[in-house]
Amino acid sequence: MSRFVHPAGDRHAEMLPHERPPLAPADLNRINPAIWPRTSTRTDGTLTVGGVDVRELAREHGTPLYVLDEDDVRSRMRDYATAFAGSEVHYAGKAFLCREIVRWLDDEGLGLDVASGGELAVALSVGFPPERITMHGNNKSVAELTRALEVGVGHVVVDSYEEIARLGHLAQELGKRPKVMIRVTTGVEAHTHEFIATAHDDQKFGLSLNTGAAAEAVRRILALPQLELVGLHSHIGSQIVDTAGFEVAARRLTALLVQIKEEHGVVLPELDLGGGYGIAYVEGDEAPDIKELADGLREIVTKVCTDAGLPVPRLTVEPGRTIVGPGGITLYSVGTVKDVEGLRTYVSIDGGMSDNVRTALYGAEYTAALVSRESTAEPMLSRLVGKHCESGDIIVRDFHLPADLAPGDLVAVAATGAYCRSLASNYNYLPRPAVVAVSGGKSRVIVQGETEDDLLRGQL
């Protein structure tokens, strides 16, 4: 039987649900501020986010509904800007990107990472300054690179020898000299789910430090005068809570900077240390402290460079999940409640793996609660499932809801701001839900929900 794996290490993996500590009805009403959006409050069992009662949100916008606490997200952007003052913070748009998020980034003075031409188009469509954009991807097309060069993105992070040649060719053709970084595979073992670990050699991203591919990439880029090699990049994976891996990667990347100076006499002025910092999804999860992380990384890079007589490079970090994840919740309406005698109760909601595939994909864990009324009923062991034709269509695998849960009740899943809407699909022709931003007692749609017309568009 496969083991249920949580990206952050599943502390309940070996524990059967009935072996876990007993819960009281009051436990089900608790809103842990480390997991729910910063402005969440709970009165008489009803959840309010950004000053808006979730029942009102469901009435006005329907369910399923992604709700984003604007103050939470903006405050996290500011926390990063403060912690990494003097460095660059580039939000990783893959976590969740839409025009409104780009406006918030611009307001808060952050940069942006894009991983495709589509993400680039979203940013450019609202006039985000291209020089604050970094272009990523392990297989950027000629069209994507051409657009990036034409608009003048700040950096292109190259990921393969082919890409170096392709970019060199295009830069020459277009008469451009892009700033380039090399994505270095540092060999760090990231403690996270296999699918989102990216620093070991046997995966598709980057050029390996161990095999010498990174050093060869340096030689190839330096041989092309139309490319300006400005730095090195590392991203070791995602949802990582143990900060040791980031520090090892920073040390190895900085050592390569020193080696490049020794071999080529070239001092690269920039280091991009990627993102990947974890957030709390369930009780007991611990998220790294951003300020401590920033101080630790700066200290390592400064020490290695100073010891080697190198100027300290400008640092960039690329957080995604930690900026938008905790401020998002998904609201669902309960449709059916099915008790499977002696096992558990299956609570089916009106969305599922099409709006949150993370449980099916990574065995992710979530916190969820009844949020539309007070209940003093006993906790019942539940599994929150979607409406798709897959038995793996699970949102929350094992948790407790009050035993009087009934169709029409609203259930919210916490910490869904990252990698839920951005990974959403139309499986079974379900329309993707709207995203509403809430702040100061008001809600506004920032991404429209899809309609049946949207689903039929493009069908011949």
Ligand X SMILES: Cc1ncc(COP(=O)(O)O)c(C=O)c1O
Query: What amino acid positions are annotated as catalytic residues?
Result: 389
Contacts of 317 (CB under 8 A, 6+ apart): 80, 84, 87, 88, 89, 90, 272, 273, 274, 275, 294, 297
Sequence-distant (≥ 6) Cβ neighbours of residue 39 within 8 angstroms: 48, 49, 50, 51, 69, 71, 72, 438, 439
Q: Binder to ligand X among 84, 277, 362, 399 (CB under 6 A)?
A: 277
Minimum distance from CB of 79 to ligand X (Å)? 14
Is there a binding annotation on residue 318? Answer: yes
The interface region with ligand X, picked from 33-41, 142-150, 281-289, 318-326 by CB under 6 A, is 318-326
Pick the binder of ligand LYS from 359, 419, 432, 449 (CB under 6 A). 419
Q: Do the Cβ atoms of 413 and 364 come closer than 8 Å?
A: no
Residues 6+ apart with CB under 8 A from 14: none
The reply on whether position 328 binds ligand X by CB under 6 A is: no
d(Cα 152, Cα 318) in Å, to the nearest integer? Answer: 20
* By the rule CB under 6 A, 111 interacts with ligand X: no
C-beta of 147 vs 321, nearer to ligand X: 321
For residue 239, state whether it binds ligand LYS (rule: CB under 6 A). Answer: yes
Report the half-sphere exposure of 337 (CA within 13 A, side-chain side): 16
Is position 238 an interface residue for ligand LYS (rule: CB under 6 A)?
yes
DSSP string, 318-377: ---HHHHSTTEEEEEEEEEEEEETTTEEEEEES--TTT--HHHHH-----EEE-BS---S
* Using rule CB under 6 A, residue 274 touches ligand X: yes
The reply, when asked if residue 319 is annotated as ligand binding, is yes
CA distance linking residue 17 with residue 7, whole number of Å: 19
67 neighbors 410 (Cβ within 8 angstroms): no
- Among ligand LYS, ligand X, none, partner that 319 touches (CB below 5 to 8 angstroms by kind): ligand X
Report the residue from 35, 89, 95, 101 that binds ligand X according to the rule CB under 6 A.
Answer: 95
Q: CB nearer to ligand X: give 4 or 195.
A: 195
Q: Which residues bind ligand X (CB under 6 A)?
A: 92, 94-95, 113, 136, 235, 238, 274-277, 318-322, 418
Q: Which residues bind ligand LYS (CB under 6 A)?
A: 94, 196, 238-239, 358, 362, 419, 423
Residue ranges of the binding site for pyridoxal 5'-phosphate = 276, 318-321, 419
Residue ranges of the binding site = 276, 318-321, 358, 362, 390, 419
Residue ranges of the binding site for substrate = 321, 358, 362, 390, 419
